[in-house]
Structure 1
C-alpha cells in the first residue's frame, strides 16, 4: 500500500503498529454524506430542483413508501424518500444518470435501478390517477369545466398526440421510431380535462405512427364506439376523423355559425396543448429526450403522467416553469376520412348550439 512506503525505514514495532492500523482502516465502511434536501434547500430551491413543492413530495412519499423497500448498498442505504428524490431529479433535469448519481453519492447503475423501480411503481398507480370520469356526477363536473371556456357543450375530454424524443432503440424496427422531423420519438396520445388532468394516456407507439392510427387502436376509442360515453364529445384536431363522439374542426368554415363552432372548438381544445406543455415543462426529460432503454422509457412516460395529476390534485401547478424546446413537435396530415354519422353529428351540433 502507498501509505506503507511513507513509513519505510521505521522500526519493526512501528511497522507492527502500522499494520494493525491499516487493518482497522480497511475494515472501516465509508458512508457518504447525504444531506437532507428538505432541510438544506429553501422552498423555491427545492421546487427548482425537483419540480414539486416539499409538501407535494411528502404526499407522494406516503403513496409509495409501503411498496418501495429501502435499498441497502455496500456503503449506504437509500430510503423510499431518497429513491423518490433521485427519480424526481432525473425526471426534472433529463441529465445523464451519472450526474444525478453524483448529487447523491451513488453510482450511475444505482440511479438506473432506482429510476426504474420508482417509475414502475408510479406507473402501476395509473388506473387510480389517470382515468375518464366514471359516473354522471364526474361527467357533469368535467363538462361544466369545458363549457365555461367557450360554451362548447358536453365535452368530456380533448385528445392529441405529442412526441417525446428518445435514442434509437436499435434492432430491425428502429426506423419506425423516426418521425417526420427525422428524430426518434414515442408518439404519446393523451386526453385531458379542463383542469389539465390527464384522463387517458397511450404511451407505446413509435414516432412514425399517425395520431389517428393510435386513436383508432386505443381502448378509449373502443369504449366510445360501445357508447359508454353516449351524449358526450371528445375534441380533436384535423388529424383525427370526425365521428359522432369525436368532434373535429371544419376545414373551410363559411357561415357565421361554422366560424363560431371552430372558434369554440379551438379555444376548448387548447386545454390539451396546455396539458402537454405543463407536463413537459415540469419534467425536462420529456423535452430533452430520454436515453433509457425502451421498456423503461415507456414506464417513465406513464409515471410522469401520474405525477402530473398528483401535482394538480395538490394545487402544485407547472405554469411558472421555463419551457424547454429542443425538438420541434410533429404536425400530422389532415385526416379526410369520412366516418358514418360524424359529419351529420357535427352539423346538428352547429345548427342547434352555434347558430
Structure 2
C-alpha cells in the first residue's frame, strides 16, 4: 500500500497470469479498509487448530521466538502477521484468498508471508540440527536401535519434491522433474521421532538425490568423522560408504533378509516424517506460485515449525477433504551400483547381523 492508500502490485507476488495483468492495467482505485478480526481470540481451540494447524499455546510460543525479527507495522499486529503466514501454509491457495480472510490486500499478504517465513527460517540453526555431543549421538542411536535393531544409526536420509511454478528464464527446465512438473528436490535427515535433523532446499527437481548429498555440508562432516562411529541409513539411490548404509537389491540368505528388514524399517521414519510434514502444511503439496527464493524460505520455515510441533506434542491435523491434497508421490530413484569395497553394509553383514540372527532376537520391540 502506498502513501495515498492505494493497493499496488508487489513484484514478489504470484507471477503475471491473466488475473495479474488485469490488476496491472486497471485504473487504481481507493483501497477500502476491511474489518480485521482478532482470529487468535475469535476461534475456540478446535476451530483454531483446524485453521492454523497449531494450538494457541504453541502459536504464542512461536511468536515469542520470532518477534524480534519481525518488521514493524502500525496496522498489523505481530500475531496477525504470524497467523496470516500460518493460514497460507495451511491453505496453499491464492494469496488473495488469505488476504480476504484477514481483511488485508494481496500485496500485504505477499510482504507478510515473505518476511515472516524468513524470520521463522532464521531459527534453523537452533531447531534443525544433527546430534553433536557424545550423549546426543548415543541417545539418537538408541532410539533407532529400538525401532528395528539397526546399530549405530543417528539419522535416516532421503529426498522429496515440493511443487513450484515454472521459475522462467533459461534454466527453467532444470526444475522439471521426472514426473514432468516443476519442483525443488529437498533433502533432509530424520530422527527416530520424525524430527528434521538436517535440510537442504536449494536444488532443482531434475537433480539426483546422490548429487545433492555429494554437494552437501553433511557429507563433508560424515567423511571427516564428526559423528565418530555413527552412520545414517538411506535407500538404494545412495552409495554405500563407511558412514552410510543402504539396502541390498537382492537377498540370498537369512542374514541378508534380516539386514534388509531392519534397515528398511529404520529408514521408513524419513518417509513418515515427510507425510506428516506435508499433511500439516498443505502448501508443500500444492504448487506454490511465488518466487523460488521465497519457496526455499517457506520449505525451511515449515521444517522448523514441524520440529516445534513435535516438541510441543501437537496432534497431526485431520485430512481436510476440501483441500484436495494429492498423495505423497514416490519417485523411482536410479539405483546406485553396489559397491562391495570397504563400507558399513559389508561390515554389518559380516559381523553384527549373523550374531543377531543366531541369538534369535526378534526385530519387534517391546
Task: Give the equivalent residue in structure 2 for 1:345.
Answer: 347
Q: Distance in 1 between matches of 2:96 and 2:327?
A: 21
1:55 aligns with 2:57: yes
Q: Distance in 1 between matches of 2:98 and 2:207?
A: 33
User: Which residues in structure 2 correspond to 1:244-263 (within 5 Å)?
Assistant: 244-263=242-261
TM-score, normalised to structure 2, is: 0.84
Q: CA deviation at 1:335?
A: 1.1
Q: Is the deviation greater in 40-49 or in 313-322?
A: 313-322
Q: Distance in 1 between matches of 2:112 and 2:209?
A: 32
TM-score, normalised to structure 1, is: 0.87
3-state secondary structure, aligned to 1:263:
helix
Task: Give the equivalent residue in structure 2 for 1:135.
Answer: 133
User: Which residues in structure 2 correspond to 1:148-187 (within 5 Å)?
Assistant: 148-187=146-185
Task: Give the equivalent residue in structure 1 for 2:144.
Answer: 146
Match among 113, 116, 120 for residue 115 of structure 1: 113
Task: Give the equivalent residue in structure 2 for 1:8.
Answer: none
Closer, same or farther in 2 for the Cα pair 1:230/1:351, shift >3 Å?
A: farther
Closer, same or farther in 2 for the Cα pair 1:108/1:354, shift >3 Å?
A: farther
- Greater C-alpha Rg: 1
Task: Give the equivalent residue in structure 2 for 1:24.
Answer: none
Aligned length: 323
Match among 284, 287, 290 for residue 286 of structure 1: 284
Q: Distance in 2 between matches of 1:213 and 1:51?
A: 34
Q: Deviation digits for residues 101-158 of structure 1, max 9, x if unmatched?
A: 0011111111010000001111111010000001011111111111111111111000
Q: Deviation digits for residues 44-87 of structure 1, max 9, x if unmatched?
A: 11111111111110110111112213323xxxx11111100000
Q: Distance in 2 between matches of 1:338 and 1:319?
A: 42
Q: CA deviation at 1:320?
A: 4.3
Closer, same or farther in 2 for the Cα pair 1:42/1:186, shift >3 Å?
A: same
Q: Note if contact 2:190-2:197 (Cα within 8 Å) is conserved in structure 1.
A: yes
Task: Give the equivalent residue in structure 1 for 2:91.
Answer: 93
3-state secondary structure, aligned to 1:112:
helix
Q: Distance in 2 between matches of 1:43 and 1:313?
A: 19
Task: Give the equivalent residue in structure 2 for 1:213.
Answer: 211
Closer, same or farther in 2 for the Cα pair 1:339/1:102, shift >3 Å?
A: farther
Closer, same or farther in 2 for the Cα pair 1:163/1:52, shift >3 Å?
A: same
Closer, same or farther in 2 for the Cα pair 1:340/1:96, shift >3 Å?
A: same
Task: Give the equivalent residue in structure 1 for 2:331.
Answer: 330
Q: CA deviation at 1:351?
A: 3.7
Q: Distance in 1 between matches of 2:101 and 2:228?
A: 51
Q: CA deviation at 1:42?
A: 1.7
3-state secondary structure, aligned to 2:285:
helix
Task: Give the equivalent residue in structure 2 for 1:66.
Answer: 68
List alignment gaps of at least 5 residues for structure 1.
1-28
| TM-align CA RMSD | 1.8
Q: Note if contact 1:155-1:234 (Cα within 8 Å) is conserved in structure 2.
A: yes
Q: Distance in 2 between matches of 1:137 and 1:271?
A: 22
Q: Distance in 1 between matches of 2:99 and 2:80?
A: 12
Task: Give the equivalent residue in structure 2 for 1:41.
Answer: 43
Closer, same or farther in 2 for the Cα pair 1:256/1:273, shift >3 Å?
A: same
Task: Give the equivalent residue in structure 2 for 1:11.
Answer: none
Q: CA deviation at 1:322?
A: 5.0
